[in-house]
Amino acid sequence: MVISFLSTFKPIAFFPTQKPSPPPLFRCNLSLPTVTITEPEPVFTSVKTFAPATVANLGPGFDFLGCAVDGLGDHVSVTVDPSVHPGEISITEIYGSHASSKLSKNPIWNCAGIAAIAAMKLLNIRSVGLSLSLEKGLPLGSGLGSSAASAAAAAVAVNELFGGKLDSRELVLAGLESEAKVSGYHADNIAPAIMGGFVLIRSYDPLELMRLEFPADKELLFVLVSPEFEAPTKKMRAALPLEIAMPHHVWNCSQAGALVASILGGDLAGLGKALSSDKIVEPKRAPLIPGMEAVKKAALEAGAFGCTISGAGPTAVAVVEGEERGEEVGKRMVEAFRREGNLESVAMVKRLDRIGARLVSSVPR
């Protein structure tokens, strides 16, 4: 028996178990709601925001699980600009270590611009023009949620400029407007980029988000190894099967359940084991990334709890305990990329970002 996977995929309805304190659930409409609020006045002249990198899928959680990673991400600055037509936004600058000529300054073709416009629509901004600058700290096509980081930072910047009227679910909607046009309608990057921590997308229609709380007294470290190789999300999604066998469906569902339980319980060994156990997506994508299978093997042999592809790749992500172990695992993964994939790569050891997109600085009116 086979199950239609992409072309006819419909979200499965999940029903909460009876627990005293279930994870928080956020519901919002699939499309931007009709504006009913009064247009707010800007409370700042300009703001600067940051949104973190994200790891989507986490192995068996294709399109419905993701988490935020500390210390990596994009910055966006938004300024009230009298030279810009009221109700519109202009992108004045794109810079940073990963700025690219591939990024358009036309706001309707730019991740940050699309999300900023969506946030302005939600806020009913019609009397003020804005200018935006984007500082790219994440490389394109890296598997670290580059487009989502730009979108999240932009949506939050517009929101903060006008007093923070939108809640997290509305900000995710604004970011999804961008993701849908750039890499597909999936929230496993944009939701954790905005909300921080681990986020489960319970449903897409209507959109329902559940934040999964990893225990505050436990430390979780990710080893991120990014090779000099670009894996565009649309290309990597095209490699996926249209149908899957029932045994693989059952297996992945059980591993996703184990992954969620391990996150909530702070079980690093269980988290890593589940993260490494995808039988549907990773087997199709790994061969497209030179050396990936050897990199995963090297990570596990060096003591990682688990390893998989971050998002669509090419970055590989491993779960470890302790920075010293993380450095050793990263070294072995870099060696495997060089030896088996003929690719140079960079390893980083990063913690879970529990905050998400946030205001960095502001200039009062």
The catalytic residue positions are 179, 233
**Quick one: which of 307, 332, 335 has its CA closest to 319?**
307
The secondary structure of residue 164, as a DSSP letter, is: S
What span, in angstroms and rounded, lies between the C-alpha atoms of 128 and 273?
51
**Quick one: which of 306, 295, 296 has its CA closest to 338?**
295
**Quick one: which of 96, 150, 97, 161 has its CA closest to 123?**
161
Give DSSP secondary structure letters for 234-268: HHHHHTS-SEEEHHHHHHHHHHHHHHHHHHHHT-H
What span, in angstroms and rounded, lies between the C-alpha atoms of 179 and 114?
9
Question: Which residues are 135's β-sheet partners?
Answer: 75, 95
What span, in angstroms and rounded, lies between the C-alpha atoms of 217 and 197?
14
Residue tagged 């936004």 (tokens): 89
Strand order in the sheet with 306-309: 306-309, 316-320, 221-227, 345-351
